[in-house]
Amino acid sequence: MVIFSVYVVNKAGGLIYQYDNYVPRAEAEKTFSYPLDLVLKHHDEKVVVSFGQRDGIRVGHAVLSINGVDVIGKNTADGKDILEYLKDASNYPVSIRFGRARLSSNEKLMLASMFHSLFAIGSQLSPEVGSSGIEMLETDVFKLHCFQTLTGECELFDQNLKSALEVAEKAGNFGAGS
């Protein structure tokens, strides 16, 4: 029962608060020989697996480190492009750690505004008068819960949010991946 993130969106759809409640990411590390048997590509300032799944490495996982050194976006720690580095046979064998990349600020803004749009459409299309819109969006990987409040921001918001997350996780009130 894990809560990954909390987003607070205003009535206009703007992201006004976001809190990441990180838990250890599922990661896979493997040593590869040349040529690399996975297809990697640049995607939104990261290098991700676009084809070929094996040994816990999945399509969509990002390159997190090379030879034990964390990568910085699309580059190795010393500034070389990851894809160019991996094309060079002299750099093998190479140990690569893969995992789910954290969302960028841009992706968080896009996620919040996209959900707000879905919420607004759901409210308007509902056959029930005065519908509150989407309450939960469920996939096979996560559940996204929507809670509405009439109150505004306060100084204790962060503390109360963290306390509420801890209580919810211990009580098991949310499905896996909420």
Q: Does the pLDDT of residue 4 top 80, yes or no?
A: no
33 in the same domain as 63: yes
More confident residue, 159 or 121: 121
- Between CA 98 and CA 105 the distance in angstroms is 21
* Reported pTM: 0.58
- Between CA 169 and CA 21 the distance in angstroms is 11
149 in the same domain as 121: yes
pLDDT confidence of residue 178: 42
What rounded mean pLDDT belongs to the chain?
81
167 in the same domain as 119: yes
Identify the domain containing residue 129 by its residue range: 5-22+104-171
pLDDT in tens, 40-50: 999 888 899 99
| Residue 134: inside a domain | yes
Query: By percentage, how much of the chain surpasses pLDDT 70?
Result: 86
Neighbours of 128 (CB within 10 A): 7
pLDDT in tens, 108-126: 888 888 888 888 888 888 8
| Residue 176: inside a domain | no
- How does strand 46-51 pair with strand 136-138? unpaired
Q: Does the pLDDT of residue 63 top 50, yes or no?
A: yes
Range of weakest confidence among 82-91, 99-108, 109-118: 99-108
> Binning pLDDT at 50, 70 and 90, where does residue 155 land?
low
Could you give the number of structural domains in the chain? Answer: 2
Q: What is the CATH number of the domain that holds 153?
A: 3.30.450.70
116 in the same domain as 144: yes
pLDDT confidence of residue 26: 66
Task: Assess contact for 176 and 169: CB atoms under 8 A.
Answer: no
More confident residue, 169 or 85: 85
**Which secondary structure element, helix H or strand E, spans residue 146, and what is its range?**
none
Average pLDDT over residues 59-65: 91
Average pLDDT over residues 2-10: 78
User: What is the Rg, in whole angstroms, of the alpha carbon atoms belonging to the chain?
Assistant: 20
What is the DSSP annotation of 157-171?
HHHHHHHHHHHHHHH
pLDDT confidence of residue 177: 44
